[in-house]
Structure 1
Amino acid sequence: MLELETRLAQQSMVISTQYPVMVVGGAEDKVNGCDILTAFFESAGGSAAKIGIIPCASREPTVVGDRYYQIFQKMGAQQVQVLDIRYRNECDEARWLEILNDCTGVFVTGGDQLRLCDLVGGTELIKTIKQKVALGQLKLAGTSAGAAMMGDRMIAGGSSGESPNQTLVELTEGLGIIPELLVDQHFHNRNRMARLMSAVAANPDKLGVGIDEDTCAALDGSGVFQVLGKGTVTVIDPGSLTHTNYPQADAAHPLSLHNLKVHVLSKGDRYDYKNRAVLANSGVR
């Protein structure tokens, strides 16, 4: 029995190098160790990777797309292409779908998540991405706006530095890649705890996930994510919520949220978002 427990403990120390979906809080390191981008590159196949970059959330897609193009080229990807989509109807065009079908990894850049969802939501492009991710044929990463899009519900904007209230957050439909999660990014860097709490109050069936800059919730495909990077991932779990005044409160009135469960996870920590439980720490620091 002791031998079995020891072996299981050793297994829990292993960090996966294959992440089907990576949710990045923005401002990831692009110059030094590039740990998060390297993890995506390796997940997508390393030197055999064929990476597509989708920069359409940005108002400078050429500049942003080229920056990531240079990074993944330098890492040694077999093929890197920028899907420079400017109009919604382009997302149904064969030229982009053919490139996408050949990709082993897709990286969605930062910018404006509303712009991103308006351009790709409901199109053949996003349908193909979701299908290929579900079949294990594609690795997907999104940073900043590309992270915000991941859930069924999406934080489109809002404020910070106040008590939780209904006016603090603007919510809309996301792309539903990870339906259970309600993601906020640049989290502690921009003091967004109250914003995420307000979002969770409006959607108590969702799990709030706030991701710091240069930090990633890397999903391993089994309903578990592991924290990569320099910051933290904050989980707000309303599963045991006993009371909120959200339905009755005036828009700017402070919200009550009783019995929220909050976890702050750092590098190497693992969380089962299907069963809402912190798992044995991998011990990486």
Structure 2
Amino acid sequence: MHLASTPIQVPIAPPQLRVARRLMKLCAALLMAAVGTQAQAAGVAIVIGGALKVDNDEVWQRIVDEAGGAGARFVVFPTAAANPARSGAQIVDALRRRGAQAESIPLAPRLKGADLQATLRDPAWLERVASAQGVYFAGGAQELIVDTLQPGGQPTEMLKAIWAVLRRGGVVAGSSAGAAIMSATMFRDAQDTLQIMKGGMREGRETDRGLGFVGPDLFIDQHFLKRGRIGRMLPLMQAKGYRLGLGVDENSAALVRGDSIEVIGAKGALLVDLGEASSDKRLPAFNIRNAQLSYLDRGDRHDLKTGVSTPSAVKLKEARLDPAASDYKPYNKSEPFYLDILGDTTIVNAMAHLIDSPLTEVKGLTFTGHRVAGDAQPDLGFEFRLYKGAGSVGWFTGAFGGEDYTVLKLRLDVQPVTINRPFYTPLQPR
């Protein structure tokens, strides 16, 4: 379409002129999103692992600063929330207290009196979204976000307006459900991690299309370490052909800008690389060999293009834990076995123990402790074997008041096992 440079001499009344200008601004913003939702974006996707505390100034302030700092205008989508009015108000308040201008969009299936279709098509709302510097998605049920903004896999004009923000260098942030939608594929509703490992993964039920704000090549999951979700990430990545996955923990965030990842907040994120992984097709259950795991702690960075991870400045001041170095002096002496490898933060605790230990490997299990109705494979469990390989290194610091590790390039094998029942028996009197 060619737009003439000479103004058309048609008298326009003031109200019509305002409407015309509004529509022209909206069209210009939406044209930026017309090249397709999977292209590289100029802005930053801020993936928050869920349970973001209101006093986490590092994350909240960074969200505002990335959008331009004081005065940056945000629109909040409480679409996923169980109580959209309350969630939207809380997020608006948190952003305003860090200097942003923020407002909540009344676009939520659970919002009483809301007209979803009218809001999705409203030119005024579309303009306010497209011209914002930041977008924030609340937590809740991620299926409500995709079903509202991308019904049947087709982007609405509202979703295109959100993409316009990211394409011109703005921020798209989301916590929990708002993080799940960040990749092109997402878990829709898959609360039972072990059942996913046992093959219970159906398109449109447990998995679905996400919105793809981090691009097509990186899979995202949330509440990751707290809920042991590496158990569900690995089968999905294997099934969908993902090489890279990023699992962000609670009260923490990963900033994804192009090929760069930066981790901030209270804890960190687990980066999974299946570039050299394989599986044994002869086995009748999920299995994987030579997956590569790296734990990126707060302040750490990773370059997706080069594959290079850089620990925070705090960590770099400490001694490097390199098992291949002549001066390697590991601290840990015990040889643990993890009976619940998918427990709260257990996988990272095992990684930290191994990198700071003379051991070459550690093992753990995941299995159902008791029979569950509907479980066709109650005695199927999985052994996790973590081991050192080429490039396995780590760093430790006590500067944050705890024992904080960065661990790079450990390897992981997962194989199916049969759980004997009873798993144990009481000792009998002599």
TM-score class, shorter-chain normalisation, is 0.7 to 0.9
Partner in structure 2 of residue 173 of structure 1: 209
Partner in structure 2 of residue 125 of structure 1: 158
Cα offset, 1:249, TM superposition: 6.7
Q: Distance in 1 between matches of 2:139 and 2:196?
A: 27
Q: Structure 1 pair 40/241, CA: closer, same or farther in 2 (3 Å)?
A: same
Aligned counterpart for 1:59 among listed residues 78, 82, 92: 82
- Conserved? CA contact 1:226–1:270, under 8 Å: yes
Q: Structure 1 pair 166/227, CA: closer, same or farther in 2 (3 Å)?
A: same
Cα offset, 1:216, TM superposition: 0.8
Q: Distance in 2 between matches of 1:259 and 1:114?
A: 33
Give 3-state SS (helix, strand or coil) of 1:36's partner: helix
Matched, 1:259 2:290: yes
Partner in structure 2 of residue 110 of structure 1: 139
Instruction: Count matched residues.
Output: 258
TM-score, normalised by the number of residues in structure 1: 0.83
Q: Distance in 2 between matches of 1:264 and 1:67?
A: 31
Give 3-state SS (helix, strand or coil) of 1:91's partner: helix
Structure with the higher fraction of residues in helix conformation: 1
What are the superposed Cα offsets for residues 228-264 of structure 1, whole Å, 9 maximum, x if unpaired? 011220111111123254xx776xx3x1111211111
Cα offset, 1:173, TM superposition: 0.7
> Mind listing any 5+ residue stretches in structure 1 that lack a counterpart?
1-17
- Conserved? CA contact 2:193–2:229, under 8 Å: yes
Structure 1, 64-73 or 81-90: larger mean CA deviation = 81-90
Q: Distance in 2 between matches of 1:88 and 1:229?
A: 36
Aligned counterpart for 1:82 among listed residues 104, 111, 130: 104
Partner in structure 1 of residue 238 of structure 2: 201
Q: Distance in 2 between matches of 1:249 and 1:174?
A: 31
Q: Distance in 1 between matches of 2:244 and 2:117?
A: 30
Cα offset, 1:76, TM superposition: 2.2
Partner in structure 1 of residue 180 of structure 2: 148
Partner in structure 2 of residue 164 of structure 1: 197
Matched, 1:93 2:122: yes
Cα offset, 1:172, TM superposition: 1.1
- Conserved? CA contact 1:165–1:198, under 8 Å: no
What are the superposed Cα offsets for residues 124-167 of structure 1, whole Å, 9 maximum, x if unpaired? 1111222331231x211111011100111111122135783321
Matched, 1:278 2:308: yes
- Conserved? CA contact 2:43–2:167, under 8 Å: no
Q: Residues 200-239 of structure 1: matches in 2 within 5 Å?
A: 200-219=237-256, 221-239=257-275
Partner in structure 1 of residue 167 of structure 2: 134
TM-score, normalised by the number of residues in structure 2: 0.56
Q: Structure 1 pair 184/54, CA: closer, same or farther in 2 (3 Å)?
A: same
Q: Distance in 1 between matches of 2:219 and 2:99?
A: 34
